[in-house]
């Protein structure tokens, strides 16, 4: 097992410490830990010589990043226009109700984190939901329970 320090070092090295690749570096750290741990961000700041304030500026600006630990399964409900006109927001409400959390939150048992996305590129099958990289199309309020039970 690599320590966080070693893993972050490897990620930075992969991008040759290129400051222009900061977003990609943060993406990779998030893929590893499901969120951006504070220690990792401090390490990026110190190794790459970028002020921590700048790193946090970027980490909080982009919607994809989370500074809070996330659950084991990441649910993304698409709220793109095509999904919206087919009832995407009602699907979101149903997921919120089923899990008793609001979007952006994580269930108490750390099993699910619920987030929304503005388009995943599969508009033709909307409303769409993505869980851990798998896509589910033609969603409706009555299919939510069955889908969540799979996990």
Partner 1 sequence: MPNKLRSKEDLEALRRELIKERKSDRPLIAVCNGTACRPYGCLQLTEAIKQELSKRGLEKKVELRITGCHGLCEKGPIVIIQPGDMFYQQVKLEDVPEILSETVIKGTVIDRLLHTDPVTDKKVVHRDEIPFYRKQERNVLGNNVEINPTKIEDYIAIGGYAALAKAILGMKPEQIIEEIKSSGLRGRGGAGFATGAKWESCRHAPGDIKYVIVNADEGDPGAYANEGLLSGNPHSVLEGLIIGAYAIGSQQGYVYVRNEYPLALANMTIALNQAEQFGLLGKNILGSGFDFSVRINRGGGAFVCGESTALMASLEGKVGEPRAKYVHTVEKGLWNRPSDLNNVETWANVPLIINKGADWYRILGTEGSKGTKIFSLVGKINNTGLVEVPMGITLREIIYDIGGGIRDGKKFKAVQTGGPSGGCLPESLLNLPVDFDELSKAGSMMGSGGMIVMDETTCMVDIAKYFLTFLEEESCGKCLPCREGIKRMRQVFDEITEGRGSDKNIEFLEQLSATLVDSSLCGLGQTAPNPVLTTIRYFRDEYEAHIKDKRCPAGVCKTLIHYYIIEEKCPGCGICVKECPQEAITFVGKKKPVVMDEAKCIKCGVCSDVCKMGAIGKR
| Least spacing, CB of residue 119 vs partner 1, in Å | 4
Distance between CA atoms of residues 50 and 71, nearest Å = 29
One symbol per residue from 77 to 116: x for binding partner 1 (CB under 8 A), - otherwise; what is it? --xxxxxxxxx--x--xx--x-------------------
One symbol per residue from 110 to 149: x for binding partner 1 (CB under 8 A), - otherwise; what is it? -------xxxxxxxxxx-x----xxxxxx-xxx-------
Longest CA pairwise span in the chain (Å) = 51
Residue (1 or 61) nearer to partner 1, CB:
61
Question: Does residue number 68 form part of the binding site for partner 1 (CB under 8 A)?
Answer: no
Number of residues engaging partner 1 in binding (CB under 8 A): 50
For the chain, how are helix, strand and coil distributed in percent, rounded to 5? 50, 15, 35
What are the beta bridge partners of residue 115? 76
What angle do helix axes 22-33 and 38-48 make, rounded to 10 degrees?
150
**Where do the DSSP E strands lie in 1-151?**
73-78, 112-117, 129-131, 134-136
Give the footprint of partner 1 on this chain (CB under 8 A): 19-24, 26-27, 50, 54, 57-58, 61-65, 79-87, 90, 93-94, 97, 117-126, 128, 133-138, 140-142
């Amino acid at each position: 097992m690599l320590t966080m320090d070693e893993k972050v070092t490897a990620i930075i090295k992969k991008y040759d410490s290129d400051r222009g690749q900061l977003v990609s570096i943060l993406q990779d750290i998030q893929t590893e830990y499901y969120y951006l741990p504070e220690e990792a961000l401090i390490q990026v700041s110190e190794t790459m010589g970028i002020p921590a304030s700048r790193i946090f500026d970027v980490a909080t600006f982009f919607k994809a990043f989370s500074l809070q630990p996330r659950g084991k399964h990441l649910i993304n409900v698409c709220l793109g226009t095509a999904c919206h006109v087919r009832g995407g927001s009602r699907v979101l409400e149903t997921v919120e109700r089923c899990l008793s959390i609001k979007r952006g939150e994580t269930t108490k048992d750390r099993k699910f984190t619920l987030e929304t996305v503005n388009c995943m590129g599969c508009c033709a099958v909307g409303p769409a939901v993505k869980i851990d990289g798998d896509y589910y199309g033609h969603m409706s309020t009555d299919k939510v329970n069955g889908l969540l039970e799979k996990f």
